[in-house]
Structure 1
């Protein structure tokens, strides 16, 4: 009989222990306060929903990541959310149904059937913000600035902003006039940035088409990329120029507030291509291969809920963010509370806790190991005194 370690968790699922949990919760509160100060209202969607509403609008990847079960009340299929974005889209389109711009934010656990990347968690804490009802570039810029402010608030430095636009690929694809099967093969090769596979996918295509599509792989780097793209597609895929202009304007707007920010352009970035409809963006820091936050424009995602609305937003994994931060330092330690029912002592304890101090009962006469001070009564007053180590 196989021995089962009852303490063992599934691969990719982890618990958050006290030292790390202190950081996670502190950052969650700080970021939700930040979003509130920008006018984003908090929503708390349910952990599970019917799959008919949970698995729409964000492509097949979300379908594969979602755990399913049968609802014993209705007999219908439920899904445990693998992404909160479609839930917030439903809230905007149906539950709120407001006129004009709606700004919403959220924070909550999600669950994946498999890790999204090699080192990724299957139980992230997703936190993000969404802006509905405005299709302008200014809305994208606002969301990008809020994403960068999120990383600032987390204390992360040397951030690089990665910008792309699905309109470039769409224009190139339209100009190439590939059939549906070849389109899928080309998309797969481009998504993996595989030049050999792209060459195989385009085997037999006219040289002009091969050059047109393969050129996307070289369009990544600093602002010079945009000038090269404009020159490359001006005659052969002119519809791409509007996307290039949008990238230029977005980068200029971000640089006005952050002149030292590193901005990287990748015109073959196809992450989320099947649901993004415009600008896509992500934030990276040195030494961490995965994006710490990413997002983009996904207009009309609420159409299935009865209202097609412009939409842009971003999300981050709170647990991934906090793994890059040092453990919280409790410099002040804690205060040991003696076993006494003196009303004056209880008043003093309330004052200390209200001031942010940690006050811990000394059960059975033993001080909690975190305590470095204690409350001692002197002439009817309860005073703080250093607590000597045992």
Structure 2
């Protein structure tokens, strides 16, 4: 049976007026907040050459991207699945600043498959990226900005999970794992399959063996970082990562932070801290972020970088739904006093719609709850009668 012409592909949907109004209001509020913190808006194209979109540590995104041939150049193009590599290209190749650069963006991305059963294949991605500072101060700033973004939306943040890819990479190197074995280990740790982990590390020498076995149990509040010092190998890479996590726990003690040293999502992409924000009872992360110092290398400059992104539509859906003020219906009349009143109402932020002749529907469907009438020689706003 053929689908009707108005049907959309699975996991794509239209955004109708009330939801679109909430999303747009939140977009403006968040971008304005980013601006107040010094983040400048950039708007990359939706389509680029594929090798640019998957450059460097962005290679793991290649399978999530729609690809097609450019009819002009004959090269393969990609429809972006993530805006961060594009912003990194802008920082590294176009802006070419020597100091810190703070950039932000908002626009749709498209995925071949949804990231979860409830996710859209066309998220409206909004994010902020800080380039040019390798210190933990940049990560603190980015996490503060993420928390502020969630607050603006009225989303109830249940926790922000934080991990560090440096611990995993140090232990993997200590164990002498090749790329294929490291990928297998990553999969085991992501599912926290302890029996499989025991089998995997059976022939790995100490102290890497005991360190890898400890990772699935090292999750919880900041106290887990002190336990990690006792259970993980006494090597510089582990020390440096734990020092950064401890600094975060002290600087951001007012935020609902949790730590999970086996959570390695995006480990091919990130080079340090990684974090995921959860809201309410949802099992899927609302926002993802972290440090990714190597992405710019393919564009000529491997600048230090830290940032986050999220789906603005998901964020808008989690906030409290504000009661939208109704519109005012105005008659089609060129009276000077009416023209002035309409202008004053619009200047004050009121929506005023002209009553087109011959309309037979219900003006309430268009959002009107008041109308302008001529009463005793004066134009005034009154309630719209049923």
| TM-score for both structures, normalised by structure 2 | 0.94
Deviation per residue, 1:96-125 (Å, 9 max, x gap) = 111200000000000000112232211000
1:227 deviates by 0.7
* Superposition pairs of residues 125-274 of structure 1, within 5 angstroms: 125-206=124-205, 209-235=208-234, 237-255=235-253, 258=254, 261-274=255-268
> What is the match of residue 317 of structure 1?
311
Q: Which residue of 301, 309, 313 corresponds with 1:307?
A: 301
> What is the match of residue 383 of structure 1?
380
> What is the match of residue 357 of structure 2?
364
Residue 347 of structure 2 is aligned to residue 354 of structure 1: yes
Aligned length: 382
User: For the residues of structure 1 that align with 2:331 and 2:57, how far apart are their CA atoms?
Assistant: 57
Q: Which residue of 281, 284, 289 corresponds with 1:287?
A: 281
User: For the residues of structure 1 that align with 2:333 and 2:257, how far apart are their CA atoms?
Assistant: 61
Structure 1 pair 302–205 and aligned structure 2 pair: CA distance change class (3 A) = closer
1:208 deviates by 5.4
Q: Which residue of 366, 371, 375 corresponds with 1:374?
A: 371
1:35 deviates by 0.3
1:192 deviates by 2.2
User: For the residues of structure 1 that align with 2:92 and 2:204, how far apart are their CA atoms?
Assistant: 44
* Superposition pairs of residues 307-346 of structure 1, within 5 angstroms: 307-330=301-324, 332-346=325-339
User: For the residues of structure 2 that align with 1:273 and 1:98, how far apart are their CA atoms?
Assistant: 27
1:326 deviates by 4.0
Deviation per residue, 1:132-156 (Å, 9 max, x gap) = 0111110110000000000000011
User: For the residues of structure 2 that align with 1:94 and 1:381, how far apart are their CA atoms?
Assistant: 62
Instruction: Give SS of 1:364's match.
Output: coil
Deviation per residue, 1:285-336 (Å, 9 max, x gap) = 2311111112011013211111221111000111111222344412x31111
User: For the residues of structure 2 that align with 1:95 and 1:343, how far apart are their CA atoms?
Assistant: 52
1:4 deviates by 2.2
Query: Which piece of structure 1 moves more, 134-143 or 338-347?
Result: 338-347
1:344 deviates by 2.6
User: For the residues of structure 2 that align with 1:304 and 1:209, how far apart are their CA atoms?
Assistant: 32
Structure 1 gap ranges (5+): none
Deviation per residue, 1:16-73 (Å, 9 max, x gap) = 1111111111100110000001110000111101112111134443100110111111
1:224 deviates by 1.6
Deviation per residue, 1:261-301 (Å, 9 max, x gap) = 32110111211111211111121123111111120110132
* Superposition pairs of residues 20-35 of structure 1, within 5 angstroms: 20-35=19-34
Structure 2 gap ranges (5+): none
User: For the residues of structure 1 that align with 2:198 and 2:352, how far apart are their CA atoms?
Assistant: 67
User: For the residues of structure 2 that align with 1:308 and 1:108, how far apart are their CA atoms?
Assistant: 25
> What is the match of residue 6 of structure 2?
7
Query: Which piece of structure 1 moves more, 153-162 or 272-281?
Result: 153-162
